[in-house]
Amino acid sequence: MGKSTLLNAFIERKLAIMSDKPQTTRNRILGVYNRDDAQVVFLDTPGIHKPHHRLGEYMNKVAVSTIPEVDVVLFVVDGSSPEPGDGDKYVAEAIARAGQPVILVCNKMDRVQREDWYKVMDNYKALSEPSVRSENPAPDARTIDWLDVVPISALANKNIDKLLDLIVGQMEEGPQYYPEDMVTDQPEKFVIAEFIREKILQMTREEIPHSVAVEVEQLERRDSGTVYVAAAIYVERDSQKGIIIGAKGAMLKQVGAKSRADIEELLGSKIFLELFVKVKEDWRNRQNVLRTLGYRDE
Ligand SMILES: Nc1nc2c(ncn2[C@@H]2O[C@H](COP(=O)(O)OP(=O)(O)OP(=O)(O)O)[C@@H](O)[C@H]2O)c(=O)[nH]1
Ligand SMILES: [Mg+2]
């Protein structure tokens, strides 16, 4: 859908990782945007989906519990699919239930011909109606009253300013929550682990992207100015370990090389990166492991 791509477009830097694999984002990612007249705190969440593991249940919980906490919900849909799917219906229902103000954001419009824009937007706008979301709507199901419907391209940075203006226009006067130089509340170690996980997601297929977790075990500034980073890549099976390492370590080396640029930009220094691959069987179903990897219920 492009939620994380949109967060990064708003705050004009890379914070949330992005990939074409579903369920890329696993935590709530907070990003702060500042301008002269406003500070906006954006919360990117996992996509709501049908869970197959405890990790998936945790991710859904994170997403659903975030809805009532915000002033405005941005419902990001993929305009390059002309019709809403079952997933969109399900999410729209969750949003309707929360009763929050909602802006419908039709993303990926760079992939849609101009003359089809209104049609696509109308198709998604129809999700406001309980009867469109479900064949048997609950008697108390609510209609969504869209604050606005905005076509954008998060990837091509199109119409992001207009969306920002709309959001700022919705906000009430209030205290500034974060200092101006603070971009996120995520620890550096978490962001670095995510950058590494992103490269693995982009380079692997099938069940591997979902079976991987990354934990930064050491982050040490050395006198030379270099930062030493040691990270563990967890997989669920020995066979997956082999794939991540690759022939003569080639895959792991590439993961490191590709992660380096993002990490160096984040830290503003050169890094020395060491990656280790470890097997933790069935970790996505193990509550204690999930907790140590940062997938914990607050
Ligand atoms: N063409 C096009 N692709 C986009 C756009 N925005 C995002 N994408 C692509 O869509 C894919 C998913 O983007 P993400 O930002 O990771 O999506 P997400 O909603 O955060 O996904 P999850 O975290 O898995 O729920 C990536 O391959 C992006 O490059 C867009 O405006 N246009
Ligand atoms: Mg995401």
Q: Distance, CA 153 to ligand 2 centroid (Å)? A: 15
Among protein residues, the one whose CA lies closest to atom 30 of ligand 1? 108
Q: Distance, CA 174 to ligand 2 centroid (Å)? A: 28
Give residue 139's pLDDT: 95
Among protein residues, the one whose CA lies closest to atom 27 of ligand 1? 20
Q: Distance, CA 197 to ligand 2 centroid (Å)? A: 12
* Nearest ligand to residue 19 Cα: 1
Give residue 271's pLDDT: 98
Report whether 279 contacts 269 (CB < 8 A).
no
Residue with tokens 């419902």: 75
* Nearest ligand to residue 111 Cα: 1
CATH superfamily for 3-170 is P-loop containing nucleotide triphosphate hydrolases (3.40.50.300)
Tell me the two tokens of residue 254: 């590439």
Same fold, 3-170 and 188-292: no
Nearest atom within ligand 1 for CA of residue 8: 15
CATH architecture for segment(s) 188-292: 2-Layer Sandwich (3.30)
Which stretches in the chain have pLDDT values below 70?
298
Give residue 81's pLDDT: 98
Domain boundaries defined on the chain = 3-170, 188-292
